[in-house]
Structures are given as structure tokens and as C-alpha cells.
Amino acid sequence: MPSAVVARKLSKEYRLGELNRNALVGEVVASAFKRLLGKDRSNYERIWALKNVDLELEQGHVLGIIGRNGAGKSTLLKVLSRITFPTSGSMAVRGRVASLLEVGTGFHDELTGRENIYLNGSILGMKRREIRKKLDSIVAFADVAQFLDTPVKRYSSGMRLRLGFAVAAHLEPDVLLVDEVLAVGDAGFQKKCLGAMDNLHTGGRTVMFVSHNLSAVENLCPRAIWIDRGCVRMDGPSNEVIQAYLATFSDATQGGADLTQVEPRKGSGHMRCTAIELLDSNGHPTPVVRSGMELTFRLHYEVFQLVREPHFGIEIYSNLGTMITSVNTWTSGFNTEELRPGKGYIDVNVGALNLNPDRYYLSIWLASVGPRYYDHLDFCTTITVEQADVHKSGRAMSKAFGLMYLPCQWSHNGYHQQDASELSQLDQERSAIVQPF
Amino acid sequence: MAVMATTRELWLYRELFYFMVWRDVKVRYKQSILGALWAIIQPFGTMVVFTIFFHRLANIPSDGVPYPIFSYTALLPWTYFSSTITQIGNSMVTNKNLITKVYFPRITIPAAHAIRGLLDFSIAALLLIGLMAWYRFTPSWNLLLWPLLTIPVLALSLGVGMIFAALNVRFRDIQHVLPFVVQLWLFVTPVIYPTTMIPAKWRIVLAMNPLTGIIEAFRATALPENTVDPRQFIVSMAMTAFIFVGGLWYFNRTARSFADIV
């Protein structure tokens, strides 16, 4: 089999802090002047989004790409799809390429659904004749038939999303590059999309698929690569790669997680989060976290420079990368005092952890209002929630019942039995309905 | 070389190019009552104002042609030029979400704007015929050369527009500079006044502004009384070619980093 995608020593460097956005002439002149005087040369923070990536993918194969946020997964897709140019290295992609970095790219609000199908389709590389042929099928997939001639600006966000994905699902490129497009939308829609993805690789197409959804990667892709700080850290059968990748997440459930070595981290560094601990109702580190238990998150921090009223936040994400909730001092209205250099910890008590059994990612941030981050750790650790009989019914909640449960109480007082005459009438109606069968 | 390579890429992406033009046509007059009439109202309104203020009040001559016809003839290419460079100049920023998410030859967007503008130009040109009929003015047969003359206006607008578009990606100041440039450019172009008002020795200098030669050519082909100074025309054409190739070169050279910076 010939290779559909070949990359050799592919590197991409970004310069931070350089006239990226909304630069003003003043700044440019000043920096150009400084450079002339030889003062500004090393001031640019350089970041290698990709570094010496070697990759070969045979035609008809499906490759999963995993890695932490900011590791370079999306940059790799952008370089391969020619949206951005590599700083060095070479690459070749054989055949018609379609990149799907976003659902509904180029939708125009003023145009109708039908017009946008044509526009979006052509942007993604479909021919006019092809779109015309598939129009009915696209409309059916998106379930927007009655709004086809309504401007897209009147669509709900769900409808837009469905329309965008419907167009994408009808692409027939030789090579398809898909970024985390499935992290949006409701669970039912995600399932539909995963189904469509599955059809893609049975069609003999070459697919590269970036996702946080590790189970989707494992199911769809026989092979996966793990990108870490711009480099390919591992390349092999997806279950092995995923296992190795997961092993690097210090699971906070195992007696807390040390966060001092976590990379990459953003923020000014005035203060750093050094560890997270999970405590049970007695304040002891807990070896196991179960649905419904009382739990305390303890964030340990170290202050290096004076900070005024910092805010603390813990975000909980599903393994699809969807944020479930954010627990933070800002929305809770909890204020801290001015902190001078030193160490400390802050506790947040959760009366009952109403997450269903699964593995969850945590992101942690320390920030001042704005927010200006002092420290921001994206997906830095995980917690594994174990089953428990939260409703005291003898039946445990599980993933099958969603990501979380709601503390609830059932009552059933609104029922009254119909008297005999009503009952017989109802029976007649029912048999009338049933008859045709 | 650059022109050849660009043409080839545009040809490969001709379907997308077609849809970009189509999108532009569709979107331009959506949810507006007067729709495509705006293509006429703009130059026509400007012509009325010019006639009142510059002709009646300031007594600016018009080479023996009724002033409304004289100015409207020039306003056609001028309106095309000014609105096209404004649109192209901002196009990379307004299409930011496309540029950062999909690959296509970046030049598709400016080229689509330039082509789409020809539609407005043609609609507005129809009114010129009406205007001539109103003044019982017999146009020159050379008027049929106009389709040929749109080539240099298109090339010039593309060239200038692409330079601004590429700069705008990096420096948002361009958004503020553009309207100002358009305003000033009008005054150094013989739209309001005839070149005959300018002392002969300065006319070549005026031709360094490529629009001068182009607009004079538009007038000379439509109005029998007007002639074009061949030296002026050649200088303007050379400038147009230079700006077009330069703009194309600069745009293509910077285009590979658009997605990173915009």
C-alpha cells in the first residue's frame, strides 16, 4: 500500500508576544527600533508547537491522535492540511484532502440552510454536482427539512451544528483530517457523529482523528500516536498508546496528585498549585472516591510574589472533554485575603459528589479577577469515581445513566383510578386504534 | 511566474471561487429593500452632489460635455475601484474563521470580490446610457471598448486591495487607513475635474496615479470630445502592471503566515 500521508522532521515554531493580535504601529515601530539597537532579540518567547515529527500513514488506514491540550495535535492537522506552513521539515499528502477542524466552517448567517450547504460543501472541497446529488441525504441527516429556506441566523445552535456535521459526513475525500469536532453537541448527536465516523473508515478512506475521547479513538482507530509537547512520544496500537498516555495522569484518587511537574502550564507564576488531595468526611486522604460520598478537594499552593485576593477553581470534565462543572471561589463568592510568599492550602467541601462512575479530568486554576491566571493547569489530573448505591435502592448508578445523578425524591400522589364507564369507553377507543394492525 | 502559478491554483479551486463570488452576490443585498438598486444609487447620488457643488457653484469645466455625464463616466470606474479595495482590504480579517480553519488559495477571496464588483459596475453603467439619452448626447462607438478597459481597473483594484489585505492581517491600523486613503485618492484622480485643468507639465506626474490614465481612457472612449494623452495612458498602464504584480507577489509571499497571525 502506498502512503497517503508522509511527514519528515516536521516542525512548527510560534513566536509568542510578537505582534500577534491587533498590533499598533507604535508597538511595531518600538520593537523594530529595539531590534535595531540589538536589545529585543531574545525577548520573544519561542514555542515549538511541533518538533521533528515523523509520520507515515498508509492509504485506507485510520490513525488516532491523542495528547494533552496544547501538545500540538491541532497544529499537526493544520500543517498537514496546509492551513499553516511548517517552519521546517517536509510533508506530502496524496489525494484529495478535507480537513474538518470545526463544524460548519464558513456558514454565512444571512444565507439560507440550502445555500449554506452549497457554500460549506464547496469550502470543504465538494463539487457542485456532488452537493446537488447528496442534498436530500444531507438534509435528512441534519433533520432541518422544514427550515431549508430559512436564513441560518434564525437557526438554533443545535440545528447549525447538525447541518454542519451533515455536510461533513457526506465528504468523500481521499484523506480526512478531523479535529475534536465531537466535543460539542449533546450525547445523542455525538453518538450519531461517531457512527458517521465509523462509516468513513469502512469506506477505505485515510483518516486522522484527533480526540480527547479515548474510547472513541480505541474503537475507531487501530493505530494511534501520542503527541507530547510537539513530539511524537509514542506510536503504535491504540490500546497500548492510550494505556501509556493514561499512565502519565497522576490519578488524584490514588492518595492525591503532585502537580509541581505538570507541563504545560499557563499563567504568570505569581503562585503555583503544587498538589491536590481528596479527603473524606473525616478529613483523611481517601483511597477511593465513590458516587455520592462527601468529599473535600484540598489544593496546595505556593506563593512566590504577593497576590491580592486570588481565586481558586477546579473544573471537572467528562472524558469527551466536555466541562461538567466548575467549582470556584469566584462564583461561590468566597474571598481570600492578600497572600505573601509562602505555602498553604485551600479546601472545598462537596457535600455529596453526584458524579456517576467514570473517569473524569480535572483542570485547576489560580487567578485574579479578569481573569488573569497565576497558574492554569489544563487536564492535569483525573479522578476515578467508583460505583455506590447512592439511592439506597440496591441498584447502583452507572455510566449508562449519564454523567451525573441528581439527588431526588419520587412521589406519586397525582393518580386517581377511572370509574368503570370511563374505562370501557377508553377500551373501545383503544381497540379502534389498534384495529388496522 | 507568480501570475501563472496563481492562475493554475485558482483554476484548481474554480468551484470554490465560483461559490465565493456567488456568496458575495447573494449576501450583498440580503435584507435590503432597494437591493441591487444601490449599485446605481451610489454613483448617481455622488454625481448629483458633484454637479451641484463642483460644477454649478465652483464652475469646474467638463471639456464641453454635460457635467453629469462627464463626472458619471469617471464615477463608474472610481466607485468600482474604491469599494473593491475597501472590501479586499478588509477581506482577510472578515474571513478570519475560514482562513484559520480550511486551506484554499487565499487569493480566491480578493479575486471573488473583484469579479463580483463588476456586476455592480455593469448595472451602474446601464444608467450612463439612460443619462446620455436624457441629455440627447451621442456617445462614441468606442464605448464598446469598455469591457476591455475593465481589465486594468480590475488589475489595479486587485493589486492595491491585496497589499492592504496582507498588511491588515498584521496591522489592524489598515482598517482606519483605508477610508482615509480612498478619500484622498479621489482628489488626486481626475473624477471631479478634467486633466485639462492641470498644467501640461504636471500631467505626467498625475499619470503616476494609475487611475488617471484609466479614467481618462474611460472618458475618451465614451465621449467623442475627449481624447487621451498616449504618454499619460502608457505611464498609467505601466504603473497598473507594476502594482498588480507587486501586490500579487507580496500577498502570496505573506499568505502562508496569514492563519498564524490574523
Cβ-proximal residues to A354 (8 Å cutoff; 6+ apart), any chain: A291, A292, A390, A404, A405, A406, A407
pTM: 0.75
B30: nearest CB among A78, A85, A110: A110
User: Which spans in B51-145 are helix H?
Assistant: 67-94, 96-99, 108-134
CA distance A128 to chain B (A): 7
Grid cell listed for A226: 501520542
Using an 8 Å CB-CB cutoff, list chain B residues near A151: 30
Is A19 close to B31, i.e. CB distance below 8 A? no
Last residue of a domain, one of A213, A247, A281: A247
The answer to whether B162 touches B250, Cβ cutoff 8 Å, is yes
Structural domain contains residue B24: no
- pLDDT tens sequence for chain A (437 residues): 678 899 999 999 887 754 444 455 666 666 656 555 544 444 567 788 999 999 999 988 889 999 887 788 989 999 999 999 999 999 999 888 888 888 888 888 889 999 999 999 999 888 899 999 999 999 988 888 899 999 999 998 888 888 888 888 888 888 888 887 655 555 666 667 767 777 765 667 888 988 877 777 887 888 999 999 899 999 999 988 988 887 777 777 777 788 887 777 888 889 999 999 999 999 888 888 889 999 999 999 999 999 988 999 999 988 767 789 999 999 999 998 899 999 999 999 999 999 999 889 899 999 998 778 999 988 888 898 888 888 888 888 888 888 889 988 899 988 888 777 666 776 766 666 655 44
Dihedral-angle region of residue A183 (phi above 0 means left; psi in -120 to 50 means alpha; beta otherwise): alpha
Structural domain contains residue B219: yes
Place of cell 439527588: A407
Instruction: Please tell me if residue B201 touches chain A, with a CB cutoff of 8 Å.
Output: no
A361 by DSSP, 3-state: which? strand
Structural domain contains residue B98: yes
Cβ-proximal residues to B10 (8 Å cutoff; 6+ apart), any chain: B17, B105, B107, B108, B111
Question: What pLDDT was estimated at residue A299?
Answer: 94
| CA B251/CA B213 separation, integer angstroms | 25
- Give burial (CB, 10 Å; 0-12/13-18/19+) of A306: exposed
Structural domain contains residue B10: no
Question: What pLDDT was estimated at residue A41?
Answer: 47
A105: nearest CB among B15, B97, B170: B97
Question: What pLDDT was estimated at residue A154?
Answer: 92
Structural domain contains residue A272: yes
B101: nearest CB among A101, A111, A122: A101
In chain A, which residue's Cα lies nearest the Cα of B21?
A: A119
Q: What value, to the nearest 5°, has the Cα angle with vertex A198 and ends A197 and A204? A: 95
In chain B, which residue's Cα lies nearest the Cα of A17?
A: B261
Instruction: Please tell me if residue B102 touches chain A, with a CB cutoff of 8 Å.
Output: yes
- Test mutation, A15, A107, A110, A167, chain B, max B CBs within 10 A: A110
CA distance B62 to chain A (A): 42
Statement to judge: residues A274 and A368 lie in one domain: yes
Question: What pLDDT was estimated at residue A40?
Answer: 47
Using an 8 Å CB-CB cutoff, list chain A residues near B177: none
Grid cell listed for A233: 512520544
Residue B194 has pLDDT above 50, yes or no: yes
In chain A, which residue's Cα lies nearest the Cα of B99?
A: A83
- Test mutation, A88, A122, A210, chain B, max B CBs within 10 A: A122
- Give burial (CB, 10 Å; 0-12/13-18/19+) of A25: exposed
Using an 8 Å CB-CB cutoff, list chain B residues near A105: 97-98, 101-102
Structural domain contains residue A131: yes
Cβ-proximal residues to B231 (8 Å cutoff; 6+ apart), any chain: B204, B207
Last residue of a domain, one of A346, A369, A386: A386
Structural domain contains residue B25: no
Grid cell listed for A67: 495528547
Mean pLDDT value across residues B167-178: 90
Nearest to residue A290, comparing CAs of A300, A281, A298, A302? A281
Instruction: Please tell me if residue B176 touches chain A, with a CB cutoff of 8 Å.
Output: no
Question: What pLDDT was estimated at residue A19?
Answer: 46
Provide the domain count of chain A. Answer: 2
Cβ-proximal residues to B60 (8 Å cutoff; 6+ apart), any chain: B54, B67, B192, B193, B197
Structural domain contains residue A289: yes
Statement to judge: residues A301 and A197 lie in one domain: no
Instruction: Please tell me if residue A123 touches chain B, with a CB cutoff of 8 Å.
Output: yes
Structural domain contains residue B19: no
B261: nearest CB among A20, A122, A125: A20
Statement to judge: residues A187 and A206 lie in one domain: yes
What's chain B's average pLDDT?
Answer: 89
Is B101 close to A102, i.e. CB distance below 8 A? yes
Structural domain contains residue A405: no
Domain that holds residue A264: 256-386
Structural domain contains residue A410: no
Domain that holds residue B176: 35-261
Is B15 close to A14, i.e. CB distance below 8 A? no
Give per-residue pLDDT as tens, A376-419. Answer: 988 888 898 888 888 888 888 888 888 889 988 899 988 888 77
Structural domain contains residue A145: yes
| CA B248/CA B230 separation, integer angstroms | 27
Statement to judge: residues A51 and A32 lie in one domain: yes
Instruction: Please tell me if residue A108 touches chain B, with a CB cutoff of 8 Å.
Output: yes
CATH of residue A277's domain is 2.70.50.60
Structural domain contains residue B2: no
Statement to judge: residues A226 and A264 lie in one domain: no
The one-letter amino acid code at A344 reads G
Q: DSSP string spanning A169-190? A: HT---SEEEE-S-TTSS-HHHH
Structural domain contains residue B5: no
- Provide the number of CB pairs (under 8 Å) joining chain A to chain B: 78
Statement to judge: residues A273 and A195 lie in one domain: no
Nearest to residue B50, comparing CAs of B25, B78, B24? B78
Statement to judge: residues A238 and A260 lie in one domain: no
Give the pairing type, strands A45-58 and A3-16.
antiparallel
| CA A109/CA A151 separation, integer angstroms | 6
Instruction: Please tell me if residue A25 touches chain B, with a CB cutoff of 8 Å.
Output: yes
Cβ atoms within 10 Å of B261's Cβ, excluding its own:
16
CATH of residue A126's domain is 3.40.50.300
ipTM: 0.84
Last residue of a domain, one of A228, A247, A266: A247
Statement to judge: residues A92 and A68 lie in one domain: yes
Is A23 close to B19, i.e. CB distance below 8 A? no
A2 φ/ψ angles, rounded to the nearest 5 degrees: -75, 155
Nearest to residue A125, comparing CAs of A171, A177, A79, A74? A171
Structural domain contains residue A101: yes
Dihedral-angle region of residue B232 (phi above 0 means left; psi in -120 to 50 means alpha; beta otherwise): alpha
Statement to judge: residues A186 and A289 lie in one domain: no
Statement to judge: residues A236 and A355 lie in one domain: no
Max distance between CA atoms of chain B, in angstroms, equals 57
Place of cell 383510578: A417
Instruction: Please tell me if residue B12 touches chain A, with a CB cutoff of 8 Å.
Output: no
Provide the domain count of chain B. Answer: 1
Structural domain contains residue A437: no
Is B103 close to A82, i.e. CB distance below 8 A? yes
A108: nearest CB among B27, B172, B260: B27
| CA A200/CA A56 separation, integer angstroms | 20
